[in-house]
């Protein structure tokens, strides 16, 4: 394995830890509409491409499956979507415009994948702040799948845009230039 590839793999490992630590920290703090559990995936996909982003995302959910139970594993599909969207948007760089675009796209795409998983595994409710939005939508007469999807969109609009913008800012730091391989 060449030095460049080893460095990227090491960055992927760090990104997995970042995903897990940030995700768990935000979850423990019960911050509504925020997860921050894909920031490492976003960083890797934006800097090193789709394949490494997918590896980072899937590894994150496998590790979460070991740490908090197997119900985290199916959500690896959401992390795969994150890697694909970010890598495609970041083909010519990942500035603030691209980050905003990626965040908006992810806010609608991720719930298309995550809402059915959330519904199948948890009946739509996971104990996060999104549950309040889902309950309100159900009370207004929405079907459960629709309420789950739109509840997840409401959280992802905040989470994915914030996550992508933070990563874009981080990438622009002069200290990060030495890690760029792409």
Q: What's the burial of 9, exposed, middle or buried (CB within 10 Å: 0-12/13-18/19+)?
A: middle
pLDDT at 131 exceeding the cut of 70 = yes
Per-residue confidence at 77, pLDDT binned at 50, 70, 90? Answer: very high
- The torsion angles phi and psi of 122, rounded to 5 degrees, stand at -125, 5
Q: What is the pLDDT of residues 29-65, one digit of tens each?
A: 888 788 999 999 999 999 999 999 999 999 999 999 9
């Amino acid at each position: 394995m060449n030095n460049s590839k080893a460095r990227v793999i090491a960055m992927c490992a760090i990104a997995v830890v970042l995903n897990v630590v940030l995700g768990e920290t935000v979850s423990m703090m019960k911050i509504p509409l925020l997860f921050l559990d894909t920031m490492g995936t976003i960083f890797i996909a934006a800097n090193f491409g789709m394949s490494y982003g997918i590896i980072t995302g899937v590894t994150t959910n496998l590790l979460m499956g070991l740490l908090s139970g197997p119900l985290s594993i199916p959500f690896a599909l959401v992390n795969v979507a994150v890697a694909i969207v970010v890598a495609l948007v970041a083909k010519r760089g990942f500035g603030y415009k691209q980050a905003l675009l990626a965040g908006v796209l992810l806010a609608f795409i991720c719930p298309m994948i995550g809402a059915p998983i959330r519904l199948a595994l948890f009946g739509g409710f996971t104990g996060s702040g999104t549950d309040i939005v889902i309950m309100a939508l159900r009370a207004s007469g929405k079907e459960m799948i629709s309420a789950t999807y739109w509840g997840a969109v409401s959280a992802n609009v905040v989470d994915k845009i914030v996550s992508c913008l933070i990563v874009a800012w981080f990438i622009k730091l002069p200290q990060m230039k030495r890690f760029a391989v792409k």
